[in-house]
């Protein structure tokens, strides 16, 4: 996600902040909300990755605590010609992973214990290559700031229910307040959904190129999708605005949080990877293969 798209995204989310502020306190409330949003944008740029890692109780590991995993990430980073990111492990049985950080020089990748137990070596390699692709594409800044601000929008919209609008008519009235409560989080979710699908397909493609194993990544996606469907992840359920960070939506399929899924269809992603594997095999064989 390039810097122009990042700026547009932040502008949209900032406008939502302003709209909620206007509903709660008129022009004065809008100004306060916009100032808060501006401060959050600056704070998120420098700190959102740390907030997300703390949110999921991620534990940083190194070659002394998780040698095989850390060395794997190091080899993949070399393949991608990028700096070695910090490596984290999250204690949860649900298989999943994400990347975060404002740029490749300040990036982190995280995998759950469920993923490390459920997947084989090649599949884990495929997943971590996918996450490094997000870092290489500079998606992680957009992903992390979006998670922080979208979550704040949801909280502010819920806050509107308790204090209501100060104005007696128009958008500040009860109907306007209820509309903001419903529409603001929905709009933030739609922004996340809109930017996520192409980003995930692109990370699958580049990740498969980094690892050289598109079939292994396809197999990993299938296993992670099945695991996420049957294993609840309560921390993710409590923080649905961060769902788009993960390689597969961590929110349970039986719950309403998946109404606006931030991830493309897993079967479509798998199909594209198999097509890519076929193309790579043909290239290796050459025109006479």
Q: Which residues participate in catalysis according to the annotation?
A: 131
- β-sheet bridge partners, residue 97: 111
Nearest to 80 by CA among 11, 118, 137, 17: 137
Sequence-ordered list of residues with C-beta below 8 angstroms from that of 223, at least 6 positions apart, any chain: 95, 118, 119, 123
Nearest to 221 by CA among 144, 274, 258: 274
Sequence-ordered list of residues with C-beta below 8 angstroms from that of 264, at least 6 positions apart, any chain: 196, 197, 200, 201
| Alpha-carbon 58 to chain mean position | 15
Residue 275, both tokens: 């097509």
Residue 71, both tokens: 């060395």
| Alpha-carbon 164 to chain mean position | 32
Helix, strand, coil shares, percent, the chain, to 5 = 75, 5, 20
Compute how many other C-beta atoms are within 10 angstroms of the C-beta atom of residue 100.
30
Q: To 5 degrees, how large is the angle CA 143–CA 145–CA 147?
A: 70
The Cα–Cα gap between 184 and 177 comes to 10
């Amino acid at each position: 996600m390039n810097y122009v798209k990042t700026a547009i995204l932040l502008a949209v989310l900032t406008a939502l902040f302003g709209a909620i502020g206007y509903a709660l306190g008129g022009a004065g409330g809008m100004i306060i909300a916009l100032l808060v949003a501006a401060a959050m944008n600056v704070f998120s740029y420098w700190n959102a990755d740390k907030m997300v890692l703390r949110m999921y109780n991620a534990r940083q590991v190194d070659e002394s605590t998780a040698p095989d995993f850390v060395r794997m990430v190091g080899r993949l980073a070399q393949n991608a010609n990028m700096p070695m990111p910090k490596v984290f492990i999250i204690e949860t049985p649900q298989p999943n992973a994400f990347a975060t950080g404002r740029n490749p020089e300040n990036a982190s990748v995280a995998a759950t214990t469920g993923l490390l137990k459920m997947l084989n070596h090649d599949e884990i390699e495929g997943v971590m290559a996918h996450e490094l692709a997000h870092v290489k594409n500079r998606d992680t800044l957009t992903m992390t700031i979006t998670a922080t601000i979208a979550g704040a929008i949801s909280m502010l919209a819920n806050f509107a229910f308790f204090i209501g609008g100060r104005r007696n008519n128009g958008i500040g009235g009860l109907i306007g307040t209820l509309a903001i409560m419903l529409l603001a989080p929905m709009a933030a979710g739609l922004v996340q959904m809109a930017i996520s699908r192409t980003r995930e397909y692109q990370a699958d493609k580049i990740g498969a190129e980094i690892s050289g194993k598109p079939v292994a990544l396809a197999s990993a996606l299938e296993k992670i999708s099945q695991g996420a469907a049957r294993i609840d992840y309560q921390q993710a359920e409590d923080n649905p605005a961060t769902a788009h960070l993960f390689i597969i939506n961590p929110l349970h399929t039986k719950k309403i949080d998946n109404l606006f899924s931030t991830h493309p269809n897993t079967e479509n992603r798998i199909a594209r990877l198999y097509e890519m594997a076929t193309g790579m095999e043909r290239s290796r064989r050459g025109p006479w293969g």
